[in-house]
Structure 1
Amino acid sequence: MYKHYLLLMALIVGTGVVHAQKPQKSSSNSELTMLVGTYTEGSTSKGVYVYRFNQETGKAAMVSSVQAGNPSFVVATDNNKFAYSVSEYNDGRQSAIAYRLDKSRGKLSLINSQTTVDEKIGAKKGKDAQSDGADPCFIMTNGKQVVTANYTGGDISVFPIAKDGSLCRQSQHFCFSGNEQGTVSHLHCVRLTPDGKYLVADDLGNDCIYRFEVNNRADYLNKQPFLSNELIIYKGEKGRGPRHIVFSKNGKYAYLINELGDVVTTFSYTAGRLKEIQALVAYDGGGHGSADIHISPNGKFLYTSHRLKDDGVSIFKINQTTGMLAKVGYQRTGIHPRNFNITPNGKYLLVACRDSNEIEVFSINKKNGLLRDTSQRIKVSKPVCIQFLK
């Protein structure tokens, strides 16, 4: 009987499948809480998944999940009390969702949701509920406000956060139109600048980056506007398609991955202004599906993911004096690496391979930034976002 038990356990481990466990308290500094957003349409995914990931061994265990529709991007507040996700639809169901987060037990519970549709402003623009606020694909929070970038809607939705973590109704809604004949706005990323004074928004359709001034006093009680004074601070080459942007640890540089041009653009950043200093081909295979971008915790390396052809991750070394990039390698991955993330200790890079239905775990060589496939796989249907709690 005991031998049969050991054989059964060996077979289970050998499959690489991670099974759900009862919510349990985190007990190690090496053990991270990891949130995974997914697509539920056309998959067996339930919604958002919570894992324990050991950043020393590279092994994961699923703890729990919470049901949600197409939560393709998820983020947690800095105090780890609440989490928020998009619900990426374009049929009137598009919304932002609030969750209560119990980090110690690895559990999310639904609080409420709010539509990203703004009927009043949508009517003014001649939009309907199927296009206004449609396909929210990115979400950020400063703990007081939540902002979504709505891809098909070509707009931004702003939600104040109540004391209990719930989302209030939209307080602001910014619509963007084509800047040139034949262009259509597609918002893909919203991110605060390192100084906390501004929010930048990448418009893939108009090949530009908008900047808003941020009112950090704004909250659900005083009802002051969070964003104001919209300004285009970067106009890129037509057809490149700005997608995601990240800032260097010292706040002096910004790096933009362009989806359609497969180019990474380097900027110097000063007082809310971006100045382009380099444009480097990130992938020359012609896939035109560049997706995500991250900087290693030590600030020495930058990574970009690429889909649709020869799927993989490009690896760059960052010049610590000039901020400019030099490409050092390319790591093949599973199918459709939409998003990825790096563990806080810089030891592992995890890739959400949407169409392989798994998260791949790569170890990082801290000397040269190159990746090595550990053969560790986290099985989950249509994974598209990975976030580690702070």
Structure 2
Amino acid sequence: MDTILLGSYTDKIHTLYFTKPSSPSAKDGKLIVGPSSKIGTSPSWVAQHPVHKDVIYSVLEDEKDGKVFVGRLIDGGKGGIKEEGVVSSGGGAPAHAHILTDLSALVVANYMSGDAVIIPLLPSGFFIPSFDPSTPGYLYKFPFNPSDSPLRNPDRQDAPHPHQIVEVEVEGSGREIFVPDLGSDVVARLRIVGEGKDLKWEQVDSIEIKGDEGGGPRHILVSKDAKHLYTINELLPTVTHTHISPPKLISKTSIVPPPPSSPVNKGTVASSAELLLLPTKPNPTILASTRTLNDRETDTLALFDLNEESGEIKLKEFLFPRKGREFRAVGVSLCGKYVVVAGQEDGWVSVFGQDDKGAWVEVVEEQVQLEKATHVLFI
């Protein structure tokens, strides 16, 4: 049985237990709702320490006074999460957190205030004592150079809005931090230097994607050789493939599905949320999720075939759960065979897997509901 933590726009982190189906073609998988742990304001993104598996982090997405939580799982999560510390994120609406591969720090993107913070970690995985985000070098303020393109969204692209922290090993450059900036239509390239508590930011470059103005980059994937960038745009729901150096847009594909035979009018504007890599065979699959489709009762997952040799991607199919709307929370099982998706708007949770012919099907007949889920993390 797998344990899943779900961040949310409540004050709690939810827990789910998933029992895999008896065979690839069976639909007898099970979901059981576990305890919810009260954490603080909007624990929307959850991360697990790579070594100390019982240490859990969460951003607390207050728009003006963001914080970051660290806690310890009690009995593998069955007893909830015990708080071990809460610190300021140094900004507003922290949206994403990443533990550096050398375990030296937790790095957090503050969406509303347009900055990112380094939080040094002790060997235990807990925060250093008396952490202060205003310590010189810890906080990086993203520049804002708005495009004059008519496609730019002035209401949403009014300032820098970093949305994710992705660590990338770049040949000839070393370890870099790529940060998609929804407000500026760029992916920033930064570096963290120093040791121990003496860490600081250095700017490397930025990837400005010409031909994709107004898209609003939200989340990214980077190829193993750091030559190809895949971006999901929130404002104009597309997935782009970009050559990194020099930056060149290779393809841009809408993830809004064709109109259904019996459309509805939800009165919403379609946007997007998550971008994940699935280790399928013979080629990996890139999954992109939508939020608030206007003409359907449910949102969708768009699947792209990835050619690792050329880097090219091709839209393959759309998956439509029986229930579920606003798919911000999407995650992949540790074995890589199952996808869990939860609707933020209506709470319905679905699980997809591949049958013995390779087709994606729902493997849990009895769906469950959770309140305002925003992130899925298998632990």
TM-score (norm 2): 0.79
The alpha carbon displacement at 1:249 in A equals 5.5
Partner amino acid, structure 2, of 1:157: V
CA distance in 1, matches of 2:217, 2:45: 18
1:87 aligns with 2:60: yes
CA distance in 2, matches of 1:292, 1:203: 15
| 2:236 corresponding residue in structure 1 | 261
CA distance in 1, matches of 2:189, 2:16: 35
1:53-82 alpha-carbon deviations (Å, 9 max, x no partner): 234453233443321121001111111131
The alpha carbon displacement at 1:262 in A equals 1.3
Partner amino acid, structure 2, of 1:331: L
| 2:26 corresponding residue in structure 1 | none
1:382 aligns with 2:364: no
8 Å CA contact retained: 2:209, 2:248: no
| 2:250 corresponding residue in structure 1 | 277
1:318 aligns with 2:306: yes
Kindly report which structure 2 residues correspond to 1:147-296, keeping only aligned pairs within 5 A, or say none.
147-167=107-127, 168-170=131-133, 171=135, 172-180=138-146, 183-194=158-169, 197-215=175-193, 218-220=195-197, 223-225=198-200, 227-236=201-210, 237-248=212-223, 253-268=228-243, 275-283=248-256, 287-296=269-278
| 2:25 corresponding residue in structure 1 | none
| 2:264 corresponding residue in structure 1 | none
1:124-178 alpha-carbon deviations (Å, 9 max, x no partner): xxxxxxxxx1111111112321111111111112211123433233251112243
The alpha carbon displacement at 1:268 in A equals 4.2
Specify the SS of the correspondent of 1:257. strand
CA distance in 1, matches of 2:303, 2:161: 27
* Pair 1:255–1:345, CA change in 2 (3 A): same
Specify the SS of the correspondent of 1:354. coil
Specify the SS of the correspondent of 1:363. strand
Query: Please, which moves more after superposition, 55-64 or 295-304?
Result: 55-64
* Pair 1:184–1:102, CA change in 2 (3 A): same
1:221-272 alpha-carbon deviations (Å, 9 max, x no partner): xx232x31242123452211000012346655331101112111113457xx
1:53 aligns with 2:53: no
CA distance in 1, matches of 2:119, 2:372: 27
1:175-200 alpha-carbon deviations (Å, 9 max, x no partner): 22430276421111111115670110
CA distance in 2, matches of 1:247, 1:284: 25
TM-score (norm 1): 0.77
In structure 2, the gaps of 5 or more residues are: 23-28, 149-153, 259-267
Aligned-pair identity (%): 23
Specify the SS of the correspondent of 1:193. strand
CA distance in 1, matches of 2:191, 2:98: 16
CA distance in 1, matches of 2:161, 2:98: 17
Q: 1:109 aligns with which of 82, 90, 96?
A: 82
Alpha-carbon RMSD across the aligned residues, in angstroms, is 2.6
Specify the SS of the correspondent of 2:345. helix
Specify the SS of the correspondent of 2:145. coil
The alpha carbon displacement at 1:375 in A equals 3.0
* Pair 1:284–1:161, CA change in 2 (3 A): same
CA distance in 1, matches of 2:31, 2:257: 33
Partner amino acid, structure 2, of 1:234: E
The alpha carbon displacement at 1:278 in A equals 2.1
1:363 aligns with 2:323: no
| 1:346 corresponding residue in structure 2 | 336
* Pair 1:54–1:371, CA change in 2 (3 A): same
| 1:37 corresponding residue in structure 2 | 7
Q: 2:318 aligns with which of 330, 333, 342?
A: 330
In structure 1, the gaps of 5 or more residues are: 1-30, 41-45, 118-132
8 Å CA contact retained: 1:244, 1:256: yes
Query: Please, which moves more after superposition, 360-369 or 338-347?
Result: 360-369
| 1:300 corresponding residue in structure 2 | 284
* Pair 1:145–1:278, CA change in 2 (3 A): same
The alpha carbon displacement at 1:357 in A equals 1.5
Specify the SS of the correspondent of 2:279. coil
| 1:129 corresponding residue in structure 2 | none
1:328-352 alpha-carbon deviations (Å, 9 max, x no partner): 2112241111120122333321112
8 Å CA contact retained: 1:301, 1:315: yes
The alpha carbon displacement at 1:33 in A equals 2.6
8 Å CA contact retained: 1:33, 1:103: no
